[in-house]
């Protein structure tokens, strides 16, 4: 397993606009520092609160607006965001400084995040055991849609439990595939937050890679985690998986031939 120190001294200083009435640091753009790249309202910068000892943390601010999120974005903005994020993720991975770079998003009070303003995170680890990060079977499941080399599946063997949507592509450097990946991420988040049987307030997105081209994305709503998973590692698979599959098809792919 990967056990890495968390600097609690720095952690105590982190702002929390989700659980406390605090000013949003990402809205205060004039005082942002260590900016690496900026494009159409998106900003990539070094994380001011680098709580993971030995790693380099980065924040990707998704835009200027605070009280919005992925389901509200135009298709063009969503595609631009994912393209921007994938580009800098790949750039960090090929920098030679890291064993691996994690790319993910926390949104909502149960996601593990602290800032409401929509953002993603990248963490570069000089040393990390990649074999502990994921297993191929976490991405197995019934195929719902496939387009431009991007597949969308419900997880048959969830990593944590219950509901997870998996995306996968081996065409990372093709614009049509990146655009489709962005479209599928957006509809997955929209489903969990606006149409799911238990309408959500929190979710996570995790990006994984195999080599330079094949990437997988896992999107999951966040609720209180099952105590049987926390204590014993038991993952639950919902018996209504087929119902959710039909619902997603009806909502997003009814008029599609894909």
Contacts of 11 (CB under 8 A, 6+ apart): 49, 51
Beta sheet of 150-154, edge-to-edge order:
35-39, 42-46, 56-61, 119-125, 100-107, 203-210, 214-221, 165-169, 150-154, 143-147
Report the DSSP beta bridge partners of residue 110.
none
The length of the chain is 258
Written as tens digits, the pLDDT of the chain (258 aa) is 899 999 999 999 988 887 777 889 999 999 999 999 999 999 999 999 999 999 999 999 999 999 999 999 999 999 999 999 999 999 999 999 999 999 999 999 889 888 999 999 999 999 999 888 988 899 999 999 999 999 999 999 999 988 999 999 998 889 999 999 999 999 999 999 998 866 788 999 999 998 777 999 999 999 889 999 999 999 999 999 999 999 999 999 986 554
Structure tokens at 67: 């009280």
């Amino acid at each position: 397993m990967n056990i890495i120190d968390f600097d609690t001294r720095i952690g105590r200083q982190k702002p929390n606009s989700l659980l406390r009435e605090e000013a949003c640091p990402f809205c205060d753009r004039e005082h942002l520092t260590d900016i690496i790249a900026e494009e159409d309202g998106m900003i990539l910068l070094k994380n001011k609160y680098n709580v993971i000892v030995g790693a380099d943390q980065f924040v990707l601010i998704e835009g200027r607006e605070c009280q919005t999120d992925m389901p509200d974005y135009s298709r063009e903005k969503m595609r631009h965001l994912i393209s921007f994020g994938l580009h800098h993720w790949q750039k960090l991975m090929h920098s030679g400084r890291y064993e691996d770079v994690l790319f993910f998003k926390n949104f909502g009070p149960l996601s593990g995040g602290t800032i409401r303003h929509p953002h993603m995170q990248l963490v570069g680890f000089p040393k990390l055991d990649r074999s502990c990060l994921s297993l191929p079977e976490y991405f197995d499941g019934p195929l719902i849609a496939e387009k431009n080399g991007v597949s969308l599946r419900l997880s048959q063997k969830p990593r944590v439990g219950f509901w997870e949507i998996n995306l996968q592509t081996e065409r990372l450097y093709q614009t049509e595939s990146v655009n489709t990946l962005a479209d599928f991420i957006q509809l997955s988040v929209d489903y969990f937050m606006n149409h799911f049987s238990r309408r959500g307030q929190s979710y996570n997105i995790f990006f994984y890679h195999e080599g330079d081209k094949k990437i997988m994305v896992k999107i999951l709503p966040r609720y209180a985690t099952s105590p049987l998973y926390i204590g014993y590692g038991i993952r639950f698979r919902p018996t209504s998986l087929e119902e959710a599959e039909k619902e997603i098809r009806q909502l997003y792919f009814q008029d599609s031939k894909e």
